[in-house]
Structure 1
Amino acid sequence: MKSTPILVQVQHLKTTCASCSVLELCLPLGLTEIEVGRLDTLIPQRVKVKKGASLYRTADPLRSLYAVRTGFFKTCILSMDGREQVTGFQMAGEMLGLDAISADTHACNAIALEDSEVCPLHFNQLERLAGQIPSLQHNLNKIMSREIVRDHGMLLQMGNMNADERLCAFVLNISMRMSTRGYSSRSFILRMRREEIGSYLGLRLETVCRSIAQLRKLGLVHISARNVEILDLAKLKTFISGCHRHGPE
């Protein structure tokens, strides 16, 4: 039986927005010290989510948005035949729960891929505060736009890509997001299983495995278990652009 989110005791682990390691990626960016303090009051306690546990599920009512402080999540829906369709992967500094704003209920499940921690922001209170602090409203709008653009960008790219290119685009996307957070852009660990990658990219498991072998053969990416090493970042970007189809450079 899967575990449920655990509330972190405030008196022991309370960390203000101002001192958070992913401040520059989250809502407080550009806010004054006083404004950050007001935002911080909306986070009475952080929430720990064990690996495999759900932060929220489809049709749950919208109560909060969740800033990922540490860890990694996947969002997914169930198809008509009961199969899981992965719709995205979220890491530290990104926001979960935006899917519920339009209908006041969540349109997907959010499941932790490793032990994680989120900062819940009560949505009604956040809306009221954003109405009083224009820079906070601006940041909220930017975060929503960023999520839409990233997801649509991946979908548009993949629509014109073969399996190898899709996997390359996925690896490059993770690489860029890791780099933004101060981690290596060339060596990192995937938190998701190959089946989950395949679901997200619209590929069968065996196709994902074949593409992994092909990218290694081409000297682009070496993936062993969940360890990723990008062998040639520049060549990887060129490969995604489709230039390889026109012959050697």
Structure 2
Amino acid sequence: MHAEPKPIAPKAADSKQAESSFKVACSNCNLRELCLPVGLNADEMQQLDGMVATRKKIKQGGHLYSSGDAFTMLYAIRTGFFKTSVVSEDGREQVTGFQMAGEIIGLDGIVSDKHNCNAIALEDAEVCVMPFNHVEDLSREIPMLQRHVHKIMSREIVRENGVMMLLANMRAEERLAAFLLNLLQRLHARGYSQSELILRMTREEIGSYLGMKLETVSRTFSKFSEDGIIEVKQKNIRILDHDKLKAIFNASTC
């Protein structure tokens, strides 16, 4: 979060052929506490097992779904990283988010029954496919699941508000500090190190998300490195001084 060539995204039909589908049980998944409500009883877990239709593999650069596709499914990421993005009329890509294992994507399609962004795998990934009509039906039977779905939607609203504040009020250093701290927090919740991470996205993609030019992103990474805050080895980032990184971010909220 070594420069890799950016793969050409295959067409939707090609990516569908590359996907593999097979049944999976939520009750046996080690990520269930991240993407499902905690505290369900055995019967409720068995019902949830029936909610997940298949598991699919998406190759790096492949589309899980594209803008304009009919919305019928939600997807729980089991492994890998995704980015969501929209493309302007003149062909420019705007990255709207990065998603990782344990998170649910596809919510953008609820409002109009069509997806309004592209979801692209940044590395080989695997998702659990949940038909949205099944999620709705089961939510009526399991109040805890309904609350969890509402919580996920609310989290998306809060995230979008946070990005708006980040783009409107923060300097380049504050934006990158906030981005790294957010990634570290999310990865730590999944059992990863609090001080090391591998960036699955390119500097260009980070810049698109943070509203920064590529040169500014690279310059800010270099400054953090020169100041002894981080150590950068291509895509490998090691946090050397958490307090300084937090102080840069907190300066924008004081």
TM-score normalised by length of structure 1 = 0.92
- Extract unaligned runs of 5+ from structure 1: none
Asked whether the 8 Å contact 1:28–1:36 carries over to 2, the reply is no
Cα distance in 1, alignment partners of residues 126 and 37 from structure 2: 18
Q: Which amino acid aligns with 1:86?
A: V
Q: Does 1:48 align with 2:60?
A: no
Partner residue of 1:135? 144
Do the aligned partners of 2:21 and 2:56 also contact (CA within 8 Å) in 1?
A: no
| Deviation, structure 1 residue 227 | 0.4
Q: Which runs of 4+ in 1 moved over 3 A?
A: 5-9
What is the 5 A alignment of 1:117-128? Answer: 117-128=126-137
Instruction: Name the residue aligned to 1:201.
Output: 210
192-201 or 36-45: bigger deviation: 36-45
Residues 117-136 of structure 1: per-residue CA shift (max 9 Å, x gap):
00010001110111111111
Partner of 1:104: 113
1:8 matched to which residue of 2? 20
1:186 aligned to which of 168, 192, 195? 195
Specify the code of the residue in structure 2 equivalent to 1:161. Answer: M
Q: Distance in 2 between matches of 1:195 and 1:157?
A: 17
Per the normalisation by structure 2, the TM-score is 0.90
Contact residue 57 and residue 127 of structure 2 kept, 8 A:
yes
Task: List gaps (5 residues or longer) in structure 2.
Answer: 1-8
Secondary structure of the residue aligned to 1:87 is strand
Deviates most, 111-120 or 33-42: 33-42
Contact 2:55 2:127 in 1 (8 A): yes
Alpha-carbon distance in 1 for matches of 2:19, 2:88: 31
Bigger drift between 177-186 and 26-35 goes to 26-35
1:119-178 CA-partner distances (Å, limit 9, x unpaired)? 010001110111111111011111111222123223313421111111111111101101
Work out the CA distance in 1 between the residues paired with 2:126 and 2:229: 33
User: How far, CA to CA, are the matches of 2:80 and 2:156 in structure 1?
Assistant: 18
| Relative contact order higher in (CA < 8 Å, ≥ 6 apart) | 2
Corresponding residue number in structure 2 for 1:159:
168
Contact 2:24–2:52 under 8 Å retained in 1: no
Q: Indicate the residue corresponding to 2:91 in structure 1.
A: 82
Within 1, Cα distance between the matches of 2:130 and 2:68? Answer: 19
Query: Any idea what SS the aligned residue of 1:89 has?
Result: strand
Deviation at 1:205, TM superposition (A): 0.6
Cα 1:111/1:9, change in 2 over 3 Å: closer
Alpha-carbon deviation of 1:233? 0.9
RMSD across aligned C-alpha pairs, in angstroms? 1.6
Seen in structure 2, the aligned counterparts of structure 1 residues 185 and 158 have a Cα distance that, compared at 3 Å, is: farther
For residues 91 and 140 of structure 2, the distance between their equivalents in structure 1, rounded to whole angstroms, comes to: 41
Tell me how far 1:39 sits from its aligned partner: 1.3
Deviation at 1:235, TM superposition (A): 1.6
Aligned to 2:6: none
2:183 to 174, 186, 190: 174
Alpha-carbon distance in structure 2 between the residues aligned to 1:37 and 1:220: 47
Percent identity for Structure 1 against Structure 2: 50
What secondary structure is seen at the aligned counterpart in 2 of 1:208? helix
